[in-house]
Structure 1
Amino acid sequence: MTDLLATVFGIYMIAAGLGLAIDRQRALKIIDEFEAQPALTYFGGAVMTLAGAALVLTHNIWQGWPAIMVTLIGWGCLIEGVLFLTVPTQFMGAIKKFMPSSTIMLVFAIFAIVLGAALIWL
């Protein structure tokens, strides 16, 4: 199961990282629209919470770097979802502090691409 999840997350991270690197302004628009729609913020938080909980409950493995990465992604998803459900305004404010910096966004995009590739091929 670890290999399957690592590959799925890797594909997503490469695609999302490339999208962010290519069009950083789009990422800013997405965040603004996500924040402006409370129902969307709630729904996104609910989906992340459910997905994160499912991952944590089925894949909470702390041995071997691919398994640890998948587990950390699950925990991250769960925590992010809970934050979107409980303190969406404060959480979006924290996210937006990093977004205006083109350099930080590019570093994040490159990190996502490299981590995604590592999850697929290592």
Structure 2
Amino acid sequence: MDNMELSIFIARVLGVMYLSVGIGLFLFREAYMLAFRKLVDSPGSALLGGFMAVVGGMAMVTYHNLWVNDWRVIITIIGWIALIKGILLMLAPAYLELFRGILQVRKGRGLTLAIVIFGAIFCYLGFIQ
């Protein structure tokens, strides 16, 4: 698989994931916020999330470490962020506690809108372009 095929595959995965979460947040905001709050209260879940982030981030960093001047660099940056976040969660699951304020239910939907927009962009890049 060449670099562009891999970029398209990852864009498809990220697009579907971000769109699903973003639309879920719009439609079932309270349920998502409750799940996020329970995640913060569970060190075991934080460790599992950290493990998954390390696996996904390491895969992207290993196979898609492209520092190019186009949209594919966003995938590389997401991979590095996932890897670093995963390592931090595995080293110190209490680190997740820092995000408790962000996970509060708010009337503003800016972050949710950003997630949907990212999902739409990745779906466009992965499925249409």
TM-score range, shorter chain: 0.7 to 0.9
Counterparts of 1:22-101 in structure 2, within 5 Å, are 22-89=27-94, 91-101=95-105
For 1:43 and 1:25, the matched residues in 2 are separated by 23
For the pair 1:15 / 2:20, whether they are aligned, the reply is yes
Shift of 1:78: 0.7
Q: Does 36-45 or 110-119 show the bigger shift?
A: 36-45
For 2:104 and 2:114, the matched residues in 1 are separated by 18
For 1:30 and 1:65, the matched residues in 2 are separated by 35
Change over 3 Å in CA distance of 1:77–1:29 after alignment to 2: same
Aligned to 1:102: 106
Shift of 1:18: 0.7
Shift of 1:47: 1.4
Unaligned runs of 5+ in 1: none
Shift of 1:27: 2.1
Name which of 2, 10, 16 aligns with 1:5. Answer: 10
Asked if structure 2 preserves the Cα contact closer than 8 Å seen for 1:66 and 1:119, the reply is no
Q: Does 26-35 or 3-12 show the bigger shift?
A: 26-35
The list of structure 1 runs, each at least 4 consecutive aligned residues, that deviate by more than 4 angstroms after superposition, is none
Asked if structure 2 preserves the Cα contact closer than 8 Å seen for 1:13 and 1:116, the reply is yes
Asked if structure 2 preserves the Cα contact closer than 8 Å seen for 1:2 and 1:66, the reply is no
For 1:94 and 1:37, the matched residues in 2 are separated by 14
Change over 3 Å in CA distance of 1:31–1:46 after alignment to 2: same
Change over 3 Å in CA distance of 1:93–1:37 after alignment to 2: closer
Q: Comparing both structures, which one devotes a greater share of its residues to helix? A: 1
For 1:37 and 1:107, the matched residues in 2 are separated by 27
Aligned to 1:113: 116
Asked if structure 2 preserves the Cα contact closer than 8 Å seen for 1:24 and 1:102, the reply is no
For 2:106 and 2:43, the matched residues in 1 are separated by 26
- 1:97 is paired with a residue whose SS is coil
